[in-house]
Amino acid sequence: MKDIYAYYNRQDELVMTGTLQEIADAIGISKGTVKFYSYPTYRKRTKTGIRVVKIDEPEWVAWVNVEKIKHYADEYGYTYTDLAEILNLSYPNVKNRMARRNRFTRDEVELLEDLFFLDEGELIKGEEE
């Protein structure tokens, strides 16, 4: 089975999903360049830019509604430090997820929904936005 990636433009909009070669062919660049866009090194060098993310979780996991998390964390009085401890992450990892530089995992979303007394799927974009 081939690895599938999601390609996001500079506005953080999903453009397409596919293999590295399919993405390269669609946008007219080399497969190696597309792969480079997926590296943490590239993300560190660019604050905004093209992003290529390997899809190893269901697509909905990538679309967590960060604004809802911020709202509920504020409502319940949780800081990023608190969320880091609850999610068993470092403070920088929580900051990166909240800044949309990294993606939340399914387990992290479920923990947050439990923490905020929400129904399953309430923190996913498209659900009651």
pLDDT of 128 over the 80 cut: no
Locate 81 and state its tokens: 């430090």
Domain 61-115 indexed as CATH 2.60.40: no
Mean pLDDT over residues 59-84, rounded?
86
Q: Provide the 3-class DSSP secondary structure of residue 17.
A: strand
Can you give the pLDDT at residue 112?
94
**Mean pLDDT, rounded, of the chain:** 84
pLDDT of 127 over the 50 cut: no
**What is the enclosing helix (H) or strand (E) of 123?**
none
Mean pLDDT over residues 35-56, rounded?
84
Cβ-in-10-Å burial (0-12, 13-18, 19+) of 43 comes to middle
Domain extent listing, the chain: 5-56, 61-115
Can you give the pLDDT at residue 126?
54
Can you give the pLDDT at residue 125?
67
The residue count for the chain: 129
Instruction: Say what percent of the chain tops pLDDT 70.
Output: 90
- Pairwise CA distance, residues 17 & 3, whole Å: 10
Q: Half-sphere exposure of 43 toward its Cβ, with a 13 Å CA cutoff?
A: 14
Can you give the pLDDT at residue 129?
39
Mean pLDDT over residues 59-88, rounded?
87
Mean pLDDT over residues 75-90, rounded?
94
Mean pLDDT over residues 72-94, rounded?
94
